[in-house]
Amino acid sequence: MAAHAQQLELAKDVPDLRKQWIATMDGRTRASHASIHGEVRLTKRQFSNGLMIPGDPSGPPEETINCRCRSVAIIPEVAAEVEKEAA
Ligand SMILES: [Zn+2]
């Protein structure tokens, strides 16, 4: 949560700031989270699973409880490269 607040704060100065979903890939990872591993979105947008961040407190419990994924901020200059790799 704190990380997301920081990302939103940063996005005020960097409007094109992106975020990337990083799944903790092991046997307990939700299939729905493993499948969006590496997904890049604008900071203010939801990921394709409807969450703003991994463990989003406003998300449904079945998508957030015990979620060990994280998200990282991606500056616009490298977003294109990251998106290419994730595709
Ligand atoms: Zn997760």
pLDDT score of 82: 73
Tokens of 17: 């700031």
String of b and e for 32-57 (b: at least 16 CB within 10 Å)? ebeebeebbbebeeebebebbbbbbe
Distance 85 CA to ligand 1 centre (A): 20
Q: How far is the CA of 42 from the centre of ligand 1 (A)?
A: 19
Rounded CA gap, 31 and 15, in Å? 31
What is the pTM assigned to this prediction? 0.84
**Band (86; pLDDT cuts 50, 70, 90):** low
List the structure tokens of 50.
Answer: 């409807």
Q: What is the pLDDT of residue 2?
A: 64
Overall average pLDDT of the 53-79 stretch:
92
Where do the structural domains in the chain lie, given as residue ranges? 2-86
Ligand 1: centre distance to CA 62 (Å)? 10
* Residue found by looking up tokens 């979105």 in the block: 41
67 CA from centroid of ligand 1 (Å): 4
pLDDT higher than 80, residue 84: no
